[in-house]
Amino acid sequence: MSTDELASKTAQICLGDNLLFVDEAAGSDETGTGTKCSPYLTALAAVAVVASMPEEKQATFKIAVKKAGDEEYSEITASALKKAKKAHEIMAKKAKKQAEQSAKDKEQIEAKEAEEQRRLEESKKIVLVEDSSLPAAKQIRIKEAVDCRNTRVKVFGWVSRHRVQGKDMMFVVLRDGTGHLQCVLNDRLCHTYDAVTLTLESAVALYGVIKEVPAGKTAPDGHELIVDYWYVVGKAPGGDDAITNRVNEESDPSLRLDQRHLVIRGDRASAILKVRARVMRAFRDHFDVCGYHEVTPPCMVQTQVEGGSTLFEFDYYKEKAYLTQSSQLYLETCLPSMGAVYTLSESYRAETSHTRRHLSEYTHCEAEIPFISFNDLLDTIEGMVKGVVKRLWDEPATRAMIKQLNPTFEPYTEPFVRMRYEEAIAWLNEHGKKRAEDGKDFEFGDDIPEAPEREMTDAIGKPILLTHFPGPIKAFYMPATKDDPRVTESVDLLMPNVGEVVGGSMRIWDHDTLLAAFKREGLNTDHYYWYLDQRKYGTCPHGGFGLGVERFLAWITDSFSVRDCCLYPRFVGRCKP
């Protein structure tokens, strides 16, 4: 009971007849007032009220108790009163001690705050000036630091971590996009206002000499910048708006997506984006060495490639137009002009599926090659994946980043498994996988859904070139095989942990067969006159494929979702930031 509550209870009692009532069955210490109509529950409550009165009044009060089961009140026994008084004494002592402790704590906090304030005021008086007697500092990026040890340098970057050690030392881990650098600030350098109030993600300039760390100590690249002068370039907020309050590892995934512009500063996200940059370059280098030309087809188109259900339609040209699903048809038109071609362009799919491997905008690496057979196409896809991975693996910096993200990753050098669609159906049935819609065995003609396909790929544990899909479940341009017209010269490359990464096929190259395919699909050939012309002006057997860059990255970096493998993912319900 607080002092105020006691005082109010005492006031009520004073109106009564100097008797406090305790009903051990029906009373209440919380709401009771000690009167007969509103008794306390315990003698302790009554003793506490009496003890709060002036001493001369205390002796005039008596306590009446009604035990559980009794009909009437009787005066409290001497032993019960003694017991209640003892309990009250202990409680009072405890409360006093607590009050003393909180007063002491408050005093300490106030002293600390005052000291902090004094330190801040003092810190404002310290103004750093670059020592003009020192050699001029050369501006470097962190990746150049190893070659610039023992000379005076200046490094710009963002505060990734910082730690104060004792009164006169502060460690800052600086990040500039090319690496991390441990920096040591001593004495006056860590007493300035900017040092005392330094926040994570502030942009700073640090001057000094890079020295190897003493034996037994660790730091990125085995060295640290011994700072002799520094200043803040752009301060980041602290307190409620500090970056760690805006986003952290535990944040809800949708909040992390809202704050993706801040998330990408994190170690994992930035490493994935850097590996992505290397992957794009490795594809370009691979195609360049293999004699392909890069082309950049339009994104705004009037044709569909992969079925009408995922088309993004827009109204601007006063006739129907869409965002491209695939650049394949345009690549095909380039063959007579440039030979083998490739593109690294965005493709758009108005997917409704909310899966970890579907985006509505993704980077599509597509290639088209003239005068090849279906087997050549399979070899080309396998050779590209292995070739690009080898390029990444042979670059020490990229290998280190991949190892950091996916420690168990090793380039796959064995031949990829080649499996026909029909064999996959048999595998699913032999392994007890059932169709989701009716719980029955899979049959020839069924589209293999993502989940069983992934289970099969993970169980086999090797890249699989899955071939010869039935025509009706594949795109209109895929030709039937000569020996079995039920199936097409088509292929999907399936990777463990990710699933389909590449989709490709030979293309129907006979004019009339293609015309029939358009008709079967209900497509208006007026929009495809240029595509049909390819079959008119020197047609030839050809084939190609498309690889989803984000899925390829998810495989290499062991990312759970393709959403982590692009800068700002776009998918159903998400178009920001």
Binding site for ligand 4AD (CB under 6 A): 305-306, 326, 328, 349, 351, 358-359, 362, 364, 366, 500-504, 544-548, 550-551, 562
- Residue closer to ligand 4AD by CB (options 349, 391) is 349
- Residue closer to ligand 4AD by CB (options 40, 416) is 416
- Residue closer to ligand 4AD by CB (options 9, 349) is 349
Closest contact distance (angstroms) between CB of 549 and ligand 4AD is 8
Closest contact distance (angstroms) between CB of 506 and ligand 4AD is 10
- Residue closer to ligand 4AD by CB (options 130, 346) is 346
Closest contact distance (angstroms) between CB of 147 and ligand 4AD is 40
CA distance 488 to 499: 20
Closest contact distance (angstroms) between CB of 125 and ligand 4AD is 58
Closest contact distance (angstroms) between CB of 150 and ligand 4AD is 49
CA distance 562 to 570: 10
The residue among 159, 163, 164 whose CA lies nearest residue 201 is 159
CA distance 525 to 538: 19
- Residue closer to ligand 4AD by CB (options 34, 569) is 569
CA distance 443 to 435: 9
**Whether the Cβ atoms of residue 501 and residue 559 lie closer than 8 Å to each other:** no
Dump strand ranges (E) for 246-352: 293-294, 300-301, 312-314, 321-323, 341-348
- Residue closer to ligand 4AD by CB (options 192, 505) is 505
**And the tokens for 483?**
């020996």
Look at residue 392 and give its three-state secondary structure: helix
**And the tokens for 371?**
């005068």
- Residue closer to ligand 4AD by CB (options 177, 307) is 307
- Residue closer to ligand 4AD by CB (options 43, 381) is 381
CA distance 461 to 416: 11
- CA-CA-CA-CA dihedral for 271, 273, 279, 280, to nearest 10: -160
**Whether the Cβ atoms of residue 6 and residue 49 lie closer than 8 Å to each other:** yes
Closest contact distance (angstroms) between CB of 410 and ligand 4AD is 22
- Residue closer to ligand 4AD by CB (options 80, 480) is 480
Closest contact distance (angstroms) between CB of 395 and ligand 4AD is 24
The dihedral through the CA atoms of 511, 521, 450, 322 has a sign that is positive
Instruction: Give the largest CA-CA distance in the chain.
Output: 120
The three-point CA angle 258-549-567 to 5° equals 25
Closest contact distance (angstroms) between CB of 545 and ligand 4AD is 5
3-state SS track over 478-535: CCECCCCCCEECEEEEEECCCEEEEEEEECCCCHHHHHHHHHHHCCCHHHHHHHHHCC
CA distance 20 to 61: 7
Closest contact distance (angstroms) between CB of 358 and ligand 4AD is 4
CA distance 439 to 534: 45
The residue among 182, 179, 233 whose CA lies nearest residue 210 is 182
**And the tokens for 447?**
């589209």
- Residue type, position 284, single letter: R
Closest contact distance (angstroms) between CB of 326 and ligand 4AD is 3
- Residue closer to ligand 4AD by CB (options 428, 562) is 562
Closest contact distance (angstroms) between CB of 121 and ligand 4AD is 57
The DSSP output letter for 543 is: E
The residue among 488, 469, 371, 360 whose CA lies nearest residue 420 is 469
- Residue closer to ligand 4AD by CB (options 237, 339) is 339
**Position with the least CB separation from ligand 4AD:** 503
**Whether the Cβ atoms of residue 490 and residue 505 lie closer than 8 Å to each other:** yes
- Residue type, position 24, single letter: E
The three-point CA angle 432-438-439 to 5° equals 20
The residue among 531, 565, 533, 532 whose CA lies nearest residue 548 is 565
Closest contact distance (angstroms) between CB of 287 and ligand 4AD is 14
- Residue closer to ligand 4AD by CB (options 226, 338) is 338
- Residue closer to ligand 4AD by CB (options 214, 253) is 253
Closest contact distance (angstroms) between CB of 570 and ligand 4AD is 10
CA distance 173 to 163: 9
**Whether the Cβ atoms of residue 210 and residue 148 lie closer than 8 Å to each other:** yes
Closest contact distance (angstroms) between CB of 273 and ligand 4AD is 17
- Residue closer to ligand 4AD by CB (options 63, 334) is 334
- Residue closer to ligand 4AD by CB (options 23, 564) is 564
The residue among 248, 558, 565, 562 whose CA lies nearest residue 405 is 558
Closest contact distance (angstroms) between CB of 266 and ligand 4AD is 23
